[in-house]
Structure 1
Amino acid sequence: MNTPDEKSTQSRSSRANARSGIVIIGAGIGGISAAIALIEKLGFHDFIIYEKADDVGGTWRDNTYPGCACDVSSHWYSLSTEINPDWTQRYAQQPEILQYWKSLTTKHNLSSYIQFHTLVTNAIWDASSQEYIITTKDTHSGVQQTTRARIIISAIGGFVAPSYPVEISGKEQFQGRMWHSSRWRHDVPLQGLRVGVIGNGASAAQIIPEIAKDETTTIVNFCRTPSWFIPREQFSYSKTTRWIFRYIPLVARLYRAVIMARHDVNYFALWPKKSEKTRKIVRKRLIEYIKSVAPKEYHEQLIPTYPPGCKRLVLDPGYLKSLRQPNVSLNWDEIKEVTPTGLRMQGGNVVDLDVIVFATGYVFISNELEVSGSKGITIREYWERQKGPTAYLGTTMPGFPNYFTLLGPNTATGHASVIFSEESQLNYILKMVKPVLDGDASSFEVSAEASEAYNRDLQERLSKTVWTDCRSFYRSGGSQDGKVVATFPGTLTQFWWLTRSVRWEDYIGVNAESWMEKRKRGSVGRITLMSMVTALCLMLWGVPRLRK
């Protein structure tokens, strides 16, 4: 096992062609978190991170659009092992979030483990050697290389690539400037231009108030389905508060715990279908908020018909108020196509534009990576057979030994921090990889029976939530009746409870017989010891009573 110093002296080229204990795909939030966990909790250094871009940060590196910020409290949108007392605002802006993850990369010397501008294109399980054969491509030169690893941790996340509505044709015709919100063109000044923003979800709601500050910019927001908006109670942390978080023990951690507890309680008030009474109260208050802030002429169109929580709730950063500005307008007509000068609506009229911005979300399944497992099929084929992305605890899949996904299917809660979800997964993954790294087993894969039973129960519980009441990106294909594949039907505390330990009987091990037997004996020994201690305590408690 390599030490950090030995690891940092190896060249990237030599590491690319060597065997690694673990390959981590992606140097975003999940990849950085996985690397820190391996180093700090297992003391393990024989891993490499492949990152297709030229820097760390993932979605917070890519999304630099005006107003980009997190809609989860910053003190909770961070690692529990890396508490940051210096967050400046309740909801941190993109530059501050990116700096947090860059600082962790520096603190733990992770750059020496990362091979940048390297895209993982293929991974094939070799049963004879109990390894994955991994093909990578240099995104600059196009040169391909092959390496092997016993374990793969996929940390590519949920925001894989920009998504463009396929029903809108003619994009190649547009003679103006066009881009996706996650690929913002900072070299294009918007002063005096006519800007069309397609979509009215979280990204559009953050972009429009910012670019509308320039009164010479005319903005048309093209909407399809209204979103539920809730007030964003933003505030800054004072120097005194930050001093308290830094120097008074446990205050920052307690503050973080209170935030988590509040969000977990909110889950029961809104997302289960049986919470009809509280949801009616929430709906009434949200309608009151929308009507109190947005212009009257938009009220009917802005109020959704689906229940709050079915789609992602949008923290309002000033979007509704910006609709009162003379340079901002809404268009609810369906877009037919892009023309050379703008957008043609289904009714036939053309809205002339200088710039078109697609704030239309992301592709959640990578088209760049193919992973083949022990049963001769790819993950993509497995998911097609399951009618959508499927995994056991969102982390492992039958037929794919030693392959783990962070922020996999049904791990997000729709109301809380995905960082904590990934930390829960990582604690689970560390327990699974330790016997492999210690040489006590070659591989583990979840059994098909265990995965099917888990997902049957999961989908049954999801059917009792509001996530099945509308069309959203939480569902396979973003359809009205697709399987819910993104969200977990419960609180983060419940997800943590499920991932706190491994049910080894749900897994098939290779060359793990003696380790499993030893583990069983250890379990029997612990039970026996606990029984003896309990019996002794009862005897000691009973002796004085007999003497009486």
Structure 2
Amino acid sequence: MPQYPGMNLYKGKICHSSAWDESFDATGKAIATIGDARLAEGGKARRPLRSESDVDWGRLHTRSKGTSGWPYIYISEEAKEAFKDEETYLCYRKKIEDGFYRTFEGILADSTTSSNLPNKFTKLMKDRLDKVGRADLLPKLTPNFPPHCRRLTPGPGYLESLPKDNVTLIQTPIERFYVDGIVTTDGVQRPVDAVICSTGANTDCILRYLSWQATDVSSESKFGFPYSYLGTGVPGFPNMSFILGPNPAGPTGTLVNSAETQIAYIAKMLRKISLQGIRTMTPSKEAADDFVESVLDPDVTV
């Protein structure tokens, strides 16, 4: 939750988007959303107080007819039938993975792909704003940093919601809360019935099952961050394995490769357990301590 003066005085509804109150009815209410968010239809006024961010086009895949919700890649029944042929399925998989791997250059600062990305994102946003007659919003939404420096804003419906009559885009910083709403630094009082904080997560707030020990209630690990063994297990749960856990992969490459590698590793460990009667899949706390200490040692090259 963000911290602003006077939040304790505010009499309206305050909640974080990650802990949504299902009982809350937004119909007809004036609502302020702090951060990147788009409230479902029904709010009387939605005022996103946000900074600039690139809007992602990569999530605008083809939807299956008659479906709603998050978009996904639609695979026809004919394609599924064709996948029974191993060579056809292999070619499809390679095509999908090729698309993932070819995005790698986009995170390299001086690459051709990275240099071209700002113009591509700006054009995408301009085209979508043009369709709703609000190209004038583009300068307010275009960031002054390259794409991928921050996580991209999910695209579906976001830009299209901004020009609506019941939405006001406000980028003036918040000064404080008062009993009936929010006061921005320009002195304007903005009465609202509810405030939705879409302000991300504080990585210092480590869940208990990501801490060093299952009995640790301090919400902090010994090293101040959640960590795991190869991204597949955490201390305190020696026989629980998963993929893409805390710190699951390197800073580059794709999650597809990481996930498949971890699945193969877990499968080998399960087979080892079955054949040799091993009781635990992850190392002891002492062994894990030694490993992390060596990683943090500036004189040690891992």
User: Shared topology, TM-score over 0.5?
Assistant: yes
Aligned to 1:493: none
Tell me which of 46, 56, 64 is aligned to 1:219: 46
Tell me which of 81, 95, 108 is aligned to 1:247: 81
Aligned to 1:127: none
How far residue 253 of structure 1 moved from its aligned partner, in angstroms, is 6.4
Aligned to 1:233: 60
For the pair 1:312 / 2:151, whether they are aligned, the reply is: yes
Cα-to-partner distance string for 1:10-34 (whole Å, 9 max, x where unaligned): xxxxxxxxxxxxxxxxxxxxxxxxx
Cα-to-partner distance string for 1:126-185 (whole Å, 9 max, x where unaligned): xxxxxxxxxxxxxxxxxxxxxxxxxxxxxxxxxxxxxx12x3344443322232223444
**For the structure 1 residues 428 and 171, does the alpha-carbon distance in structure 2 shift closer, same or farther, using more than 3 Å as the test?**
farther
Aligned to 1:190: 26
CA distance in 2: counterparts of 1:344 and 1:413, whole angstroms: 43
**For the structure 1 residues 353 and 221, does the alpha-carbon distance in structure 2 shift closer, same or farther, using more than 3 Å as the test?**
same
Aligned to 2:116: 281
CA distance in 2: counterparts of 1:409 and 1:396, whole angstroms: 9
How far residue 447 of structure 1 moved from its aligned partner, in angstroms, is 5.8
**For the structure 1 residues 264 and 284, does the alpha-carbon distance in structure 2 shift closer, same or farther, using more than 3 Å as the test?**
same
Give matches, 1:50-129, under 5 Å: none
What amino acid maps onto 2:139 in structure 1?
A: E
CA distance in 1: counterparts of 2:152 and 2:251, whole angstroms: 8
Aligned to 2:246: 409
Unaligned runs of 5+ in 1: 1-163, 461-505, 507-548
CA distance in 2: counterparts of 1:398 and 1:367, whole angstroms: 13
1:197/1:221 contact within 8 Å kept? yes
How far residue 390 of structure 1 moved from its aligned partner, in angstroms, is 4.1
Tell me which of 183, 195, 210 is aligned to 1:344: 183
How far residue 187 of structure 1 moved from its aligned partner, in angstroms, is 4.1
Aligned to 2:10: 174
2:174/2:183 contact within 8 Å kept? yes
CA distance in 2: counterparts of 1:266 and 1:456, whole angstroms: 33
What amino acid maps onto 1:228 in structure 2?
A: D
Cα-to-partner distance string for 1:509-543 (whole Å, 9 max, x where unaligned): xxxxxxxxxxxxxxxxxxxxxxxxxxxxxxxxxxx
2:212/2:235 contact within 8 Å kept? no
CA distance in 2: counterparts of 1:217 and 1:252, whole angstroms: 49
2:212/2:236 contact within 8 Å kept? no
CA distance in 2: counterparts of 1:237 and 1:414, whole angstroms: 33
For the pair 1:328 / 2:164, whether they are aligned, the reply is: no
CA distance in 2: counterparts of 1:328 and 1:274, whole angstroms: 38
CA distance in 2: counterparts of 1:318 and 1:289, whole angstroms: 13
Cα-to-partner distance string for 1:31-58 (whole Å, 9 max, x where unaligned): xxxxxxxxxxxxxxxxxxxxxxxxxxxx
Give matches, 1:160-171, under 5 Å: 164-165=1-2, 167-171=3-7
2:233/2:241 contact within 8 Å kept? yes
2:206/2:219 contact within 8 Å kept? no
Aligned to 1:84: none
Which structure dedicates a bigger proportion of its chain to strand?
1
How far residue 227 of structure 1 moved from its aligned partner, in angstroms, is 1.4
Task: State the TM-score, normalizing by the size of structure 1.
Answer: 0.43
What amino acid maps onto 1:372 in structure 2?
A: Q
1:198/1:359 contact within 8 Å kept? yes
How far residue 192 of structure 1 moved from its aligned partner, in angstroms, is 2.7
**For the structure 1 residues 234 and 278, does the alpha-carbon distance in structure 2 shift closer, same or farther, using more than 3 Å as the test?**
closer
The residue matched to 1:343 in structure 2 has which SS?
A: strand
What amino acid maps onto 2:220 in structure 1?
A: R
Structure scoring higher RCO (CA < 8 A, sep ≥ 6) equals 2
Q: RMSD of the alignment, in Å? A: 4.0
Deviates more, 1:359-368 or 1:416-425: 416-425
How far residue 441 of structure 1 moved from its aligned partner, in angstroms, is 4.5
Q: How many residues align?
A: 277
Give matches, 1:134-533, under 5 Å: 164-165=1-2, 167-200=3-36, 204=37, 207-208=38-39, 210-211=40-41, 214=42, 217-223=44-50, 225-231=51-57, 232-237=59-64, 242-248=76-82, 249-250=84-85, 254-268=91-105, 270-275=106-111, 277-294=112-129, 295-364=134-203, 365-369=205-209, 370-372=211-213, 380-384=220-224, 388-395=225-232, 406-411=243-248, 421-422=258-259, 424-432=261-269, 434-436=271-273, 438-441=275-278, 443=280, 445=283, 451=292
**For the structure 1 residues 246 and 220, does the alpha-carbon distance in structure 2 shift closer, same or farther, using more than 3 Å as the test?**
same
Which structure dedicates a bigger proportion of its chain to helix?
1
What amino acid maps onto 1:326 in structure 2?
A: D
Cα-to-partner distance string for 1:95-128 (whole Å, 9 max, x where unaligned): xxxxxxxxxxxxxxxxxxxxxxxxxxxxxxxxxx
What amino acid maps onto 1:425 in structure 2?
A: Q
The residue matched to 2:164 in structure 1 has which SS?
A: coil
CA distance in 2: counterparts of 1:414 and 1:351, whole angstroms: 42
